[in-house]
A and B are shown apart, each in its own frame.
Chain A
Amino acid sequence: MKDKESFSIKVGGEAGQGINTIGSILSRSFADHGLHLFAHQDYYSRVRGGHNFYQVRITSEPVYSFSSKIDVLVALDPASLDLHLHELNNNGVIVYDQNKIEPENTDKQYFALPMAELGEKHGGKKVMGNTVAAGAVWQIMGGTPEILENTLRKLFQDKGNEITESNIKAARAGADFAAENFFGRCDCSLGKPVNKEQMVLTGNDSLALGALAGGCQFISSYPMTPVSGAIQYLARQANRLPLAFEQAEDEISAIIMSIGAAYAGIRSMVATSGSGFSLMVEGLSLAGMTETPIVILLGQRPGPATGMATRTEQGELLFALHAGNGEFPRAILAPYTVEDAFWTAAHAFNLSEKYQIPVFILSDQHLADTYLTVEPFDLSAVKIERGNILKSKELDQMAEYKRYQATESGISPRAFPGQSKHCVVSTGNEHSESGYSTEDPAIRQQMAEKRIQKFRGLAKDILPPVQYGTDNPETLLLTWGSSYGACHEAVNKANQQDENIAVVCLKQLWPLPKEKLLEYIKRANRLVTVEMNSTGQLGRLLRTETGIQPDYAILKYDGRPLNSSYVLEQLEKGGTFPWE
């Protein structure tokens, strides 16, 4: 692959047809070929039928977003042609099964591949047609057969030798058929493989790995898209590590279980989406009052209510910020790439124990389900910092232990029940230093101030934003979460056209890193917020906290992910102004 080159392969079909199989085989193989990969899926909330797709983009340089144009379309259903034909580049190729689809004659390059037939003949089953398709695409792109076969061994090893070998035969049959019958031109040659150790991770995988590295010991959750992937990942690791997983009866129970476990001394988290988090709100407030550290993975999808279960949005920023009765400190982190999700998750546990507060990881469906190539994480760089926890020696020497002891920072030393001669007393009622409930006005005021005091420390301990692009930009894009990917590429494209733009992406949205932000904003002529919601929540937060009003916003709220073409188009048009 040449410098700055980018190819995209789209596999479209009905749910249950095997889009995922083809997508995963190709993704893993591209990674082993040493290329950078960004793959995303688009699926309906149904188990069978509908039209879904899996789109893989491969590049020589890392990218964090998808392309609107594709080079290879594997069409498993007629809808794939209706919906995606116009996305094909000039020399793009359509791979389809002529026994299933009859394409209309257009000027495009069609390659008829009898997938099911070859699958049955060489792999023993019609469904092996998916592997046939992967083999054919790999051949068309000039991939090395060993890499593909190695992928199949990895992916199917759990299913036994027979299934692995059948898949290899099916892939070979697809490759052979393409070698003998494809005479077209595909401007998407992979070139020489580069030896590079790469993982292929979804955002959910990366969040789960980060939580594990960060010492998560308990996760209680109720299944919900788009966090189920992360939940299930952690469930699979339970007992391989000192980790327990429980599927709670509802989200109310999930968060309270986690609070119970954290009170007793282990790092705990919950994962949910908007309406599930609605049920967790009283628990959030309990964590705030009892100063119990928990991590809340909130995977956003379009609301209100059930909204669109399998689609993406960034609509819960202000909800996460304001949820819960009463006043208490919290932190909101937002990973901006799949790789960053790992570090964010690990950091969330440290932050939450340091300040004894609930910490949010605000993810979104697009980030959660996106696959990216990531080099293995340097685990030695992960630090577990558990904050102020008394050692047993210290506890032995103390005459009395007070869970909410007054301190300058507002942070009281923690002890855990059963770990010393002292009793640990805590309550969701307003309480004295010793943890027993009280209505004394002076103590109430002292405790309210103690909680606010923790916020003051927290506000000096913020993850700095990420900046990319020119230093004194004409236009500064301000964004958060997965929207960074589209902005990053928009900046590249625009600056290649001699424009002068930059992007600043907030890794932590609360407390807002005001000073850093003002520095960036000061150096720019125009400020444009980019986020996936209809009311411009980040812009609103910025105005409330700093008095600065962005010039306009680029918003998207159709449930589909953002990409650079959309950002550039909106920049040209002048976006929208949602803050009247």
Chain B
Amino acid sequence: MGVKVEDFDLDRENTWCPGCGNFAILDVVKETLANLGLPPHKVQVISGIGQAGKMPGHFRVNTFNVLHGRALPAATGVSLANSGLKILVIGGDGDGLAEGGNHLIHAARRNIDVTYMMHNNMVYGLTKGQVSPTSDKGLKTPTTPGGNPIAGLNPIQLLLGLKASFVARSFSGNKEQLGSIIAKAIEKPGFAFIDILQPCPSFNKINTHGWFKKRVYDINEEGHKPDNLSEAFKAAMEWGERIPTGIFYDEEEERPVFNEALTGSQDQPLVDAELNPLDIKEIMKEHL
């Protein structure tokens, strides 16, 4: 029995603004999960706080919506407890790079087996328009009334620097590319990161749908092969008139994923283990 897109439907009021990039991303995620034949109860979505963080409220899967910036540690715990779940971590640029920056570094280092979709609209949406770590220099926001004095952070460079297993960028306006990248990320064992450019029609009047549309191009179509880290860095340097998207890096070497590295000698997911106090008898004997 196949999995249908409708299996993921959830009838709840959606409060995203008209024209928000999140709508397209949500559609693509549902389609991709159905295409991969992953039933809702085997999919775990974990999110922090922000407009992207509200996504779990709009499709039917297992969802754990935690605190601002803390989706990745929660996902780390879930993946250890039950390696049988396909885990998607969803959050915005503020959630992932500001409040959750430290966790992002360590989730990549641990190589936790998740797909991390960072919806990047280069501004804070939920709290109404403040500057974000990825906001371009000069962007005027309520907390940078004179224009953002600092250049935006390039998440692709950061993740390449962390040698994440899979590093890609896509755009909410290119559903086809986005779907294909999300599918590859889900199938990739280990930490798969996607920087998803999306417009915020309410609070970012500079980096609009049209602005992105005019600039994005697919590096893989232009010949970039994702097996080389230095080439990936080179491709990631570009930002401005042309914005590179596609798969920058897809590590060839097989690296153990975190839950296997940590619980490798266990023959079943921890959640299925029987607990028995008598099992500690041998450990107790060591104290005699």
Q: Which A residues are within 8 Å of any B CB, using their own CB? A: 197-201, 205, 209, 212-215, 217-218, 220, 237-246, 248-250, 252-254, 256-268, 282-283, 286, 290, 346, 376-377, 379-380, 382-384, 416-429, 435-437
Contacts and interface: CB of A to CB of B under 8 A. Distances in A.
Interface string B83-119: 0110000000000000000110110000000000000
Given A252-B70, A423-B41, A264 B78 contact: yes
Contacts of B102: 249-250, 253
Contacts of A263: 64, 74, 77-78
Nearest to A198: B288
Nearest to B82: A264
A205 B277 contact: no
B22 interface: no
Contacts of B234: none
A343 to B, nearest CB: 11
A384 B278 CA distance: 11
Contact of B62 (A205, A238, A418): A418
13 contacts: A218-B81, A240-B282, A243-B270, A259-B77, A260-B77, A266-B80, A266-B81, A417-B41, A417-B44, A417-B64, A423-B41, A423-B63, A427-B56
Nearest to B61: A423
Nearest to B84: A418
B85 to A, nearest CB: 5
B66 interface: yes
Contacts of A382: 277
Given A244-B270, A379-B277, A423-B60, A237 B65 contact: no
Contacts of B263: 238-239, 244
Q: What does DSSP make chain B's interface, helix, strand, loop or mixed? A: helix
Contacts of A201: 287
Contacts of B271: 264-266, 416, 418-419
Given A263-B64, A416-B82, 12 more contacts: A220-B77, A241-B279, A242-B275, A256-B66, A256-B73, A260-B73, A265-B81, A290-B64, A379-B281, A417-B85, A425-B62, A426-B65
A384 B275 contact: yes
A242 B102 CA distance: 28
A268 to B, nearest CB: 7
Contacts of B281: 379
Given A256-B77, A346-B277, A246 B262 contact: yes
Nearest to A217: B270
B1 interface: no
Contacts of A254: 73
A383 to B, nearest CB: 8
B85 A264 contact: yes
B207 interface: no
Contact of B270 (A218, A249, A257, A282): A218
A209 B280 contact: yes
